[in-house]
């Protein structure tokens, strides 16, 4: 018999709809049931592509005996962290405070009022590796709640107070005196030194295994290098991106990046693929190409964007959320190869160079099978084989095509086909920027189609919605959603020069200030002011796998202050940057996007006024040249005699539209001569 999750739209919740556990989704009915039964709540949070979530489901939630214990002693609530990031943020912070660690599946025990008093992550069905069994935990919690209720409630009350204080505390105790004094360029320099101290000089990346790509931090480093020209910063970026692109963390047959590497070499990945990772990484590699002209970075950016379009696009235009790590009941099965399998498909002639180049061995590198990776440079490999790079490249491409076709016949990983507005915003921004920078209309058209989808199908009245699947929507959007869509709208506007996107940018920023900015407390909250009342109002200012809603909003407001000349937007962005500076100094790796915004706020502003019809071929040629150059502090806008602008753009006001398209670049208070020739514009940009 299906449980209460059968009517949900989340693929993760639907995966649990046939469990013998009497699951509730998060709802008032569940909390009321806990009060009426006088039992605690067992809250389990995960997501569809989470390998250990699947393991705990198989071991415990599908076990009738364990399910019976859960049903008898608890009201059980299952939450998709991607659908309810506010709940995940609150209860993850509580579990991390209680245990010193977090992760998914997240297991938290709450009072009927939703206050957490105990928690952890994965629990095995039997005691192992120093962990108690899940049944031992259930029995202990039930006994404590029954026999030591006062102590449990006191613990819950203290945790509630801790969570409330942590939301608004400006300078937590762990912030050092030295960190409090770091601001402006000193804070930027300090953060780069911190990243350098954690840099792995052999394999790239930061810290030991498991190793995460950290695209937000690396994008900050690229931006810093683009104006500082510090060689060490460039080395950190180039080495990390090269090692990742050649490691097993990238899918060398089907494109796209996996979630992270379980080792320090980027060799063996955790095989799930997330939309946000590939959105952020494609933009990172694009920027690296623009700054360094590295062909491998361009190729990697294109392959990653191709994965988003080919594997994650819905027919309606939006992008799906994730591909599972598991298939055929095992992690990574879809992506792994044995040497005999490769030989059978390719034959000896093609197999030999392919196996050598992609590190295939008899013993394999993951449970007797091979994760494809590139242990050496193509040019060096070709020279070693006595062949030209073009010839060996042709052989490898033919082999990859044959293996990809063979792989397509395997059972594919589950695709989570819910569409999240914030993650789509990140993908749209990458596609729009790449469409302009690489002069690729396919990328730009995919980005525009997705943005039109979100703003039509995922907008109800005057509100953006968070999640969509099969024509059904779920919940109002969060700060991250609005801010990501706002930044995406700016990218689409600059790549198309269509004034309709200015209206959307203004709408988004107005909604952000209305729903998420608390003028009295002077902070952004993640959930809307009129949203569901939880034990605290969610506010997570540090970047995780994605930039925080706080940093995305500050980034957007800094941009809109320059586009529309809105001083209020500039004041808010400056205030937040100043407020969070001590924490940024203490934890630079957790504030990559906010550091990026801080760095931009210190740089001279560049405005580019384009005068002319956006459909004019000459206008398009000028825009093509302009967008090929990397300038994170550039604002582009267009004025035309036939154009009606609903919003004032100060740097367009004095310019006059002539008989042919022209461009004028201004830095702070000085402007270059108007140009109408693409090559002259290129020369101006080269000497910026």
Q: Read off the tokens for 280.
A: 């952020």
User: What predicted TM-score, i.e. pTM, was given to this entire model?
Assistant: 0.95
Say if residue 429 is in the same domain as residue 408.
no
Is residue 170 predicted with pLDDT exceeding 60?
A: no
Is residue 383 predicted with pLDDT exceeding 80?
A: no
- For residue 70, the tally of other CB atoms under 10 A from its CB is 23
Burial grade of 367 (CB within 10 A; 0-12, 13-18, 19 or more): exposed
Please tell me the distance from the alpha carbon of residue 116 to that of residue 219, in angstroms, as a whole number: 36
pLDDT range class, residue 179, cuts 50, 70, 90: low
pLDDT in tens, 79-96: 999 999 999 999 999 999
Please tell me the distance from the alpha carbon of residue 486 to that of residue 188, in angstroms, as a whole number: 26
Which CATH number covers residue 8? 3.40.30.10
DSSP 521: T
If one counts the domains in the chain, the total is 4
| 323 within a domain of the structure (yes/no) | yes
Say if residue 294 is in the same domain as residue 379.
no
Say if residue 446 is in the same domain as residue 402.
no
Say if residue 639 is in the same domain as residue 556.
no
Q: Which of 204, 222, 221 is nearest to 213 (CA)?
A: 204
Coil, helix or strand for 610? strand
Is residue 149 predicted with pLDDT exceeding 80?
A: yes
| 657 within a domain of the structure (yes/no) | yes
Say if residue 441 is in the same domain as residue 321.
yes
- For residue 100, the tally of other CB atoms under 10 A from its CB is 7
Please tell me the distance from the alpha carbon of residue 601 to that of residue 555, in angstroms, as a whole number: 10
Say if residue 592 is in the same domain as residue 470.
yes
Name which of 162-166, 354-358, 402-406 the model is least confident about: 162-166
Q: What b/e readout covers 295-331, taking b as 16+ CB neighbours within 10 angstroms?
A: ebbbebbbbbbbbbbebbbbeebbbbbbbbbbbeeeb
Please tell me the distance from the alpha carbon of residue 374 to that of residue 355, in angstroms, as a whole number: 10
Say if residue 393 is in the same domain as residue 251.
no
> The domain containing residue 353 runs over which residues?
333-412
| 117 within a domain of the structure (yes/no) | yes
- For residue 54, report the phi and psi dihedrals to the nearest 5 degrees: -65, -40
Q: Read off the tokens for 383.
A: 């020279």
- How does strand 662-667 pair with strand 463-469? unpaired
Please tell me the distance from the alpha carbon of residue 88 to that of residue 103, in angstroms, as a whole number: 10
Q: At what angle do helices 479-496 and 500-515 cross, to 10 degrees?
A: 160
| 174 within a domain of the structure (yes/no) | no
User: What is the residue-wise DSSP string for 354-366?
Assistant: HHHHTT--SS-SB
Total residues found in the chain within this entry? 688
pLDDT range class, residue 656, cuts 50, 70, 90: confident
Is residue 386 predicted with pLDDT exceeding 90?
A: no
| 106 within a domain of the structure (yes/no) | yes
Say if residue 286 is in the same domain as residue 407.
no
pLDDT range class, residue 171, cuts 50, 70, 90: low
Say if residue 384 is in the same domain as residue 314.
no
User: What is the residue-wise DSSP string for 120-132?
Assistant: ES---SS-BTTBP
User: What is the residue-wise DSSP string for 559-591?
Assistant: HHHHHH--HHHHHHHHHHHHHHHHHHHH-GGG-
Say if residue 22 is in the same domain as residue 131.
yes
Q: Among 391, 412, 433, where does a domain finish?
A: 412
Q: Among 546, 567, 602, where does a domain finish?
A: 602
Mean pLDDT across the stretch 518-532?
Answer: 95
pLDDT range class, residue 686, cuts 50, 70, 90: confident
Which CATH number covers residue 566? 1.50.10.10
Rg, C-alpha atoms of the chain:
26
Say if residue 112 is in the same domain as residue 258.
no
Please tell me the distance from the alpha carbon of residue 314 to that of residue 265, in angstroms, as a whole number: 34
| 591 within a domain of the structure (yes/no) | yes
| 173 within a domain of the structure (yes/no) | no
| Strand intervals (E) in 74-207 | 75-80, 106-110, 116-120
Q: Among 144, 168, 192, where does a domain finish?
A: 168
**pLDDT cut 90: percent of the chain above it:** 85
Say if residue 54 is in the same domain as residue 124.
yes
Q: Read off the tokens for 272.
A: 């799930």
Please tell me the distance from the alpha carbon of residue 458 to that of residue 419, in angstroms, as a whole number: 9
| 561 within a domain of the structure (yes/no) | yes
Is residue 173 predicted with pLDDT exceeding 60?
A: no
pLDDT in tens, 410-444: 999 999 999 999 999 999 999 999 999 999 999 99
| pLDDT reported for residue 315 | 97
3-state class percentages of the chain: helix first, strand second, coil last, to nearest 5: 55, 15, 35
Is residue 247 predicted with pLDDT exceeding 70?
A: yes
Contact 526, 479 (CB under 8 A): yes
């Amino acid at each position: 018999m299906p449980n209460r999750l059968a009517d949900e739209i989340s693929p993760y919740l639907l995966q649990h709809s046939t469990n013998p556990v009497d699951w509730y989704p998060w709802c008032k009915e569940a909390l009321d049931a806990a009060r009426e039964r006088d039992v605690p709540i067992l809250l389990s949070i995960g997501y569809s592509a989470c390998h250990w979530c699947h393991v705990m489901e198989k071991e415990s939630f599908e076990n009738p005996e364990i399910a019976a214990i859960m049903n008898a002693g608890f009201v059980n609530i299952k939450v998709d962290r991607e659908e309810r990031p506010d709940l995940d943020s609150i209860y993850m912070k509580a579990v991390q405070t209680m245990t010193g660690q977090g992760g998914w599946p997240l297991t938290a025990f709450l009072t009927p009022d939703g206050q957490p008093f105990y928690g952890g992550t994965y629990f095995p069905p039997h005691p192992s590796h120093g962990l108690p069994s899940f049944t031992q935990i259930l029995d202990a919690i039930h006994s404590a709640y029954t026999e030591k209720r006062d102590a449990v409630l006191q613990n819950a009350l203290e945790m509630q107070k801790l969570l409330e204080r942590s939301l608004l505390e400006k300078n937590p105790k762990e912030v050092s005196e030295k960190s409090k004094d770091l601001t402006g360029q000193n804070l930027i320099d300090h953060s780069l030194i911190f990243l350098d101290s954690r840099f792995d000089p052999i394999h790239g990346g930061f810290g030991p295994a498991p190793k995460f790509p950290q695209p937000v931090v690396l994008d900050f480093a690229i931006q810093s290098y683009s104006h500082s020209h510090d060689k060490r910063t460039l080395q950190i970026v180039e080495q990390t991106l090269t090692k990742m692109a050649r490691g097993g963390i990238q899918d060398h047959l089907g494109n796209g990046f996996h979630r992270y590497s379980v080792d320090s070499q980027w060799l063996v990945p955790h095989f799930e693929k997330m939309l946000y990772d590939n959105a952020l990484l494609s933009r990172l590699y694009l920027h690296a190409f623009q700054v360094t002209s590295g062909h491998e970075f361009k190729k990697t950016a294109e392959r990653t964007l191709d994965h988003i379009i080919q594997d994650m696009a819905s027919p309606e235009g939006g992008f799906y959320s994730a591909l599972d790590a598991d298939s055929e009941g095992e992690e990574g099965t879809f992506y792994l190869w044995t040497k005999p399998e490769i030989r059978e498909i390719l034959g000896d002639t093609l197999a030999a160079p392919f196996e050598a180049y992609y590190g295939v061995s008899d013993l394999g590198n993951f449970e007797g099978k091979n994760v494809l990776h590139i242990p050496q440079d193509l040019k060096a490999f070709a020279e070693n084989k006595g062949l030209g790079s073009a010839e060996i490249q042709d052989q490898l491409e033919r082999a990859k095509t044959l293996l990809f076709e063979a792989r397509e016949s395997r059972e594919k990983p589950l695709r989570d086909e819910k569409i999240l507005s914030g993650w789509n915003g990140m993908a749209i921004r990458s596609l729009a920027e790449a469409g302009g920078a690489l002069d690729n209309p396919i990328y730009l058209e995919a980005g525009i189609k997705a943005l039109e989808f979100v703003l039509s199908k995922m907008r109800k009245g005057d509100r953006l919605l968070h999640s969509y699947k099969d024509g059904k929507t779920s919940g109002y959007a969060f700060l991250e959603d609005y801010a990501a869509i706002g930044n995406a709208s700016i990218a689409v506007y600059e790549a198309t020069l269509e004034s309709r996107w200015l209206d959307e940018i203004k709408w988004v920023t107005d909604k952000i200030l209305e729903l998420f900015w608390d003028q009295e407390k002077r902070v952004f909250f993640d959930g809307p002011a009129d949203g569901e009342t939880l034990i605290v109002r969610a506010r997570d200012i540090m970047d995780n796998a994605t930039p925080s809603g706080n940093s995305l909003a500050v980034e957007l407001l800094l941009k809109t202050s320059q586009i529309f000349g809105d001083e209020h937007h500039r004041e808010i962005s400056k205030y937040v940057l100043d407020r969070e500076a001590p924490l940024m100094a203490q934890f630079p790796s957790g504030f990559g996007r906010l550091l990026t915004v801080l760095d931009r706020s210190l740089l001279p502003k560049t405005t580019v006024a384009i005068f002319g019809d956006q459909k004019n071929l000459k206008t398009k040629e000028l825009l093509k040249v302009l967008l090929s150059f990397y300038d994170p502090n550039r604002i582009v806008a267009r004025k035309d005699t036939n154009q009606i602008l609903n919003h004032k753009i100060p740097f367009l006001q004095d310019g006059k539209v002539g008989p042919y398209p022209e461009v004028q670049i201004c830095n702070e208070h000085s402007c270059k001569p108007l140009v109408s020739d693409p090559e002259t514009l290129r020369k101006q940009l080269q000497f910026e």
